Structure 1
């Protein structure tokens, strides 16, 4: 068993295909396959099963994964402590994001401080991100949550408010806020059911006996913005995710504020190790929430 085999194992467990794992590590697919075969021979168990949907982890692989990732983060941490200034010169960090407008300044700062750390970033909604952290498929996530997850380490970064997104010919263009009752007869373009933004919006309205129907359901905030700009319906957006599109305007909801916090979510056992600790230090320092 060696470090290259462990890296290959982790990459496949994260990406769930041999080809994507090879691409992420910058090696050939036959090399990845050989590393996994050697690791399976070393541990005396099969680790992956090929299915029509990709790669599934065996029970032995699921048991091995958290130990492998913790070992690799510990090696990163030891290397950083031995270097002058305790700065990470190399390493790997798998990140999950639901709010790129919040996350990108953190990524920019982290990359400037630790240029040798390779980042693997994926975009998902918050509920999916929590599962990915729990399954050891990402090391950290920036997610929108109503409250900290009880089983994960959650560092609060900032608060956001849900606002209504309107196009430039809508009567609400230029208004600062709208009343709850005005939402009843509007046609909305909403995110998928697992979207935290949608959940916050619908839950806030439900408390006041108001329900809105989704004229169209889309899988990303960018798609929702384009649909609103095309005048298909109104959308909802967190206030820091509006961007600078001149075709769109955000309006606050009077009387039923829907708010949530952005959290850095990690596993408790790896929160203070290697690249995870370094990323957490950047994120919490930037938003003034460092302990």
Structure 2
């Protein structure tokens, strides 16, 4: 036998109500069941939990300590219930969203919060590989990535279509040579992403198909680092066309060898289906109808 939650509840209810009858009413169980829980604990551990004074059961000092533990256990139970139900409520639910790029995922989240302002959203960022793995291990609830693999484990929904572009400083001659080719880019200092990046996979494929094996000037681990390197005139970087909402000095330049459009998709595990997930996917459908115009103009979703 062990110290079970029903037994602890019974002791706490008797201490609060002063009798087995009051505890039974509070717990909505029979009076004999309450008495049995208390007596079993006293017998098994050789302790006295209550003294009877003037017809009222008064907790002993030991029982008062036990009741303090009981309160913490009941709060833990309430927290566990909130945790288990947070994905199935639109009142105070919580979602963890994994983004490979800031955009268009952030624009989607903004629209979702306009529709459901009481939902708490936590955002994790990382490479394509990191976000995919986080969805598979349930570290994040929903991922937003380009070129999500066709996998039966995933529920997928198209968010937008986009391609990879070069990004250049406005002083670069390339800013006036739109579009450019991989052959032309071979004459420039190139800034690449580390392996595991969806952007870099497209860039590597394009150069390889065009018959080139470039050696980058820099290899950086985040899109923001690549962006800042370009801002500081270090070379030519690459990003998804809608990968950021920033509209500062960097110019986006189309690359003829990277014209292919890839699907940016929202995805989650197939067995994760509940009210909150369905609301997020419904927002994806609403976003998609106007996404291209909104993203091209760099404006917030209305």
TM-score by length of 2: 0.65
Name the SS for the 2:135 alignment partner. Answer: helix
Conserved? CA contact 1:76–1:90, under 8 Å: no
CA contact (8 A) 2:143 2:268 kept: yes
Pairwise mapping of residues 187-266 of structure 1 onto structure 2 (< 5 A)? 187-241=189-243, 243-266=245-268
What is aligned with 1:284?
285
- The 3-state SS of whatever aligns with 1:176 is coil
CA deviation after TM superposition for structure 1 residue 130, in Å: 0.7
8 Å contact from structure 1 (residues 129, 141) kept in 2: yes
Contact 2:203 2:258 in 1 (8 A): no
SS in 2 for 1:172: helix
Report the alpha carbon displacement of residue 245 of structure 1 after superposing the two structures with TM.
3.8
Matches within 5 A, 1:138-217: 138-145=140-147, 147-217=149-219
Q: Is the 8 A contact 1:154 1:263 kept in 2?
A: yes
Check whether the contact 1:167–1:249 (CA below 8 A) recurs between aligned residues: yes
1:1-291 equivalence runs, <5 A: 72=84, 76-77=87-88, 80=89, 88-145=90-147, 147-241=149-243, 243-270=245-272, 272-288=273-289
Report the Cα offset of residue 256 of structure 1: 4.4
Measured in 2, the distance between the counterparts of 1:111 and 1:146 equals 24
| 1:170 Cα offset (Å) | 1.1
**SS state at 2:163 partner:** strand
TM-score by length of 1: 0.67
Aligned equivalents of 1:190, 1:179: Cα separation in 2: 16
Asked if the contact 2:96/2:123 (under 8 Å) is kept, the reply is yes
The Cα shift of 1:148 comes to 2.9
Give the count of matched residue pairs.
217
User: What is the aligned-residue RMSD (CA, Å)?
Assistant: 2.8
**C-alpha distance in 2 between matches for 1:138 and 1:244:** 26
Q: Kindly indicate which of the two structures has a greater share of residues assigned to strand.
A: 1
- Distance, in Å, in 2 between the alignment partners of 1:193 and 1:236 is 14
Gaps of at least 5 residues in structure 1 are: 3-33, 40-67, 81-87
Relative distance call for 1:244 and 1:108 in structure 2 (3 A) is closer
Gaps of 5+ in 2: 6-71, 291-302
Secondary structure at the counterpart of residue 136 of structure 1: coil
